[in-house]
Chain A
Amino acid sequence: MAERTQLWLFHAKRARITEFAGYQMPLWYEGIISEHMAVREAVGVFDVSHMGRLLVEGPGAEGLLDITTTNDVIGLEPGRSQYSLMCNQDGGIVDDVVVLRLAEERFLLVVNAANRAKDLAWLRGHAKGLGGQVSIADLTGQVAMIAVQGPRALDVLTAVSKAERPLRSLRWHEFTEGQVAGVSALIARMGYTGEDGFELYIWGATPGEPERALRAWEAILEAGRELGIKPCGLGARDTLRLEAGYCLYGPDINEQTTPVEARLDFAVKIEKGQFIGREAIRRQMLKGPRRLRACLKLLERGVPRQGYKVLDEAGREVGHITSGTFSPLLRRGIAMAYLPPELARPGLEVLVDLRGHRRARAEVVEPPFYDTSKYGRRRRAS
């Protein structure tokens, strides 16, 4: 039996439901394209309570995360978060995570829903050998998580919240304590859409007692009504992250891919000292990887999907699509694939085999896929 999130009562009435990582989640309410465009042009709100939330605390918490994650957690100040990776000894990616430092000895890890049990076991396994006490708790069922994303997310959230720090003063990846419609929440400026936005963590909201989560959710929708806010499902979440060039754990990154191959080395601080996977990653950085993740934009009609073959211009198979979709903004197919490094260069062309129907030309592009002067969180203020 699939689990339900704190906001199930809302989804059940309004959304097409899909099962994802053991949860019954909204796929879309009104349609993927209109929800996608609401986020690029105004604001949308997502239930992301299926994501895993793990609390790591105690005198040994920092040390545990320092060896199990690749980014610089020691340099992370309370009130800030960072994108990071957990790798195995071979450099394979166990999970990609966001680490929020709540206090000196208290961290919240946001992990992929499908990896929650694996991550818990991984962290607990490595905690045993370490000095310093550390406790690891799974808060997923007790903390609701809502993402408010889009160029007007700041306006909407400011209208319904009170916070210790003004939301507009938060830099990307900073967070503050506050209240949304009177409900206590941790408000973090971050997201997975490429747009400006916030993620809310609402403690004390279980699927059995969803009132606080629902109150915040409804208040956000109400506050954004005039701006055209839309509730958005996992369908739009996927098209938005792909347009932004963000990886999805499972298809795009997994234990068979490394941060170097996936071009996530910005989240790896090799010089910080010992951590799991460091030697393998360092070797690969020096030698150069055999393949690199590339973003592909179709130059012809067609929608690339996971598993489709990628061919070079001579028709030789050089890789396959790890995830692909129709970009609502570009009105064309976009995808990610691992290619030989000499082919993974922006401007080069490859062919995508559309499951036997046709071969469509595709160009390797630098992510994000959209024009960053018009879309995305670094767009010019209009």
Chain B
Amino acid sequence: MARYEVPDGLYYTREHEWAKVLEDGTVLMGITDYAQEKLHDVVNVELPEVGARVRQMEAFASVDSVKATSEVYAPVSGEVIEVNEELLARPELLNQDPYGRGWIARIRPASSEELHGELEALMTADEYARYIEELEGKRV
């Protein structure tokens, strides 16, 4: 499935978010290449509040394409400590660079134990690549 970029070392949700554990133990997150490709033409992003506490797989942001609004789910629980405000002026970054400048939020987990438990529930790059391949196979 070379069509979609799925970087190694990240964790993935079934709702097409990615999570990257940074050296300081916080988690950077965004939506995957597959998600941005399916959305197409991202025109608006609603970001969470800095300081908000979220639970894993809670809808905490949303992304608008021309056609529809899609929820964005928190890949891990914790406190939102930073959001990518550049997206407010340039939502197209989600299309252009979903794993880089198109990041959405940074989350500080309550503890590394909780974080590692939650990461178990997410997919590795290999698993996610197979998952989207399956989804594609089901397409008409």
Which residues of A line the B interface, CB within 8 A? 16-17, 24, 27-28, 31-33, 235, 238-239, 301-303, 305, 325-326, 328, 333, 354-355, 357-358
> Is the CB–CB distance between A328 and B66 below 8 Å?
yes
| Partner pick for B46 among A33, A239, A357, CB 8 A cutoff | A357
Interface residues on B, range: 10 to 19
| Partner pick for B67 among A17, A32, A333, CB 8 A cutoff | A32
Give the interface segment out of B12-20, B37-45, B130-138: B37-45
> Is the CB–CB distance between B41 and A17 below 8 Å?
no
Separation of A325 and B64 alpha carbons in the complex (Å) = 9
Separation of A328 and B41 alpha carbons in the complex (Å) = 10
Is there a chain A Cβ closer than 8 Å to B50's Cβ?
Answer: no
> Is the CB–CB distance between B69 and A326 below 8 Å?
no
Some 13 contacts from A to B, beta carbons below 8 A apart, are: A32-B67, A33-B41, A33-B66, A235-B66, A238-B67, A302-B44, A303-B64, A305-B69, A326-B43, A326-B44, A333-B44, A357-B62, A358-B46
Find chain B residues with CB under 8 A from A28 CB.
40
In the complex, residue of chain A having the shortest beta-carbon distance to the beta carbon of B47: A357
Separation of A17 and B140 alpha carbons in the complex (Å) = 9
Q: Considering the complex of A and B, which 4 residue pairs feature the smallest CB-CB distances, nearest first?
A: A303-B64, A357-B46, A32-B66, A326-B43
> Is the CB–CB distance between A31 and B140 below 8 Å?
no
> Is the CB–CB distance between B66 and A326 below 8 Å?
yes
Is there a chain A Cβ closer than 8 Å to B110's Cβ?
Answer: no
| Partner pick for B66 among A17, A301, A325, CB 8 A cutoff | A325
Find chain A residues with CB under 8 A from B66 CB.
32-33, 235, 239, 325-326, 328
In the complex, residue of chain B having the shortest beta-carbon distance to the beta carbon of A233: B67
Find chain B residues with CB under 8 A from A24 CB.
140
**A17-B140, A235-B66 known; A32+B44 contact, CB < 8 A:** no
| Partner pick for B69 among A32, A33, A355, CB 8 A cutoff | A355
> Is the CB–CB distance between A32 and B140 below 8 Å?
no
In the complex, residue of chain B having the shortest beta-carbon distance to the beta carbon of A357: B46
Find chain A residues with CB under 8 A from B65 CB.
32
Find chain B residues with CB under 8 A from A301 CB.
44, 88
Knowing that A303-B43, A305-B69, A357-B62 are A-B contacts, what are 18 other residue pairs whose CB atoms are under 8 Å apart, sorted by A's residue number? Answer: A16-B40, A17-B140, A27-B67, A28-B40, A31-B41, A32-B67, A33-B43, A235-B66, A238-B67, A303-B44, A303-B64, A303-B69, A305-B68, A325-B66, A325-B67, A326-B64, A333-B44, A354-B46
Find chain A residues with CB under 8 A from B62 CB.
355, 357
Find chain A residues with CB under 8 A from B44 CB.
301-303, 326, 333
Chain A nearest Cβ from B116, distance in angstroms: 31
Separation of A345 and B66 alpha carbons in the complex (Å) = 27
Find chain B residues with CB under 8 A from A305 CB.
68-69
Q: Interface readout for B45-82 with A: 1 if CB under 8 Å, 0 if not?
A: 01000000000000000101111110000000000000
In the complex, residue of chain B having the shortest beta-carbon distance to the beta carbon of A30: B40
Chain B nearest Cβ from A136, distance in angstroms: 33
Find chain A residues with CB under 8 A from B140 CB.
17, 24
Find chain B residues with CB under 8 A from A17 CB.
140
Separation of A16 and B114 alpha carbons in the complex (Å) = 40
Find chain B residues with CB under 8 A from A355 CB.
62, 69
Find chain A residues with CB under 8 A from B68 CB.
305
> Is the CB–CB distance between A32 and B64 below 8 Å?
no
Separation of A17 and B69 alpha carbons in the complex (Å) = 18
Q: Interface readout for B8-27 with A: 1 if CB under 8 Å, 0 if not?
A: 00000000000000000000
Most chain A CB neighbours (cut-off 10 Å) among B40, B43, B64, B67: B67
> Is the CB–CB distance between B40 and A32 below 8 Å?
yes
Chain A nearest Cβ from B102, distance in angstroms: 17
Separation of A33 and B95 alpha carbons in the complex (Å) = 14
Find chain A residues with CB under 8 A from B69 CB.
303, 305, 355
Separation of A354 and B64 alpha carbons in the complex (Å) = 11
In the complex, residue of chain B having the shortest beta-carbon distance to the beta carbon of A239: B66
Chain B nearest Cβ from A300, distance in angstroms: 11
Find chain B residues with CB under 8 A from A303 CB.
43-44, 64, 69
Separation of A357 and B68 alpha carbons in the complex (Å) = 15
Chain B nearest Cβ from A102, distance in angstroms: 36
Find chain B residues with CB under 8 A from A239 CB.
66
In the complex, residue of chain A having the shortest beta-carbon distance to the beta carbon of B67: A235
Find chain A residues with CB under 8 A from B41 CB.
31-33
Find chain A residues with CB under 8 A from B88 CB.
301
In the complex, residue of chain B having the shortest beta-carbon distance to the beta carbon of A24: B140
Separation of A357 and B69 alpha carbons in the complex (Å) = 12
Find chain A residues with CB under 8 A from B67 CB.
27, 32, 235, 238, 325
Q: Interface readout for B26-39 with A: 1 if CB under 8 Å, 0 if not?
A: 00000000000000
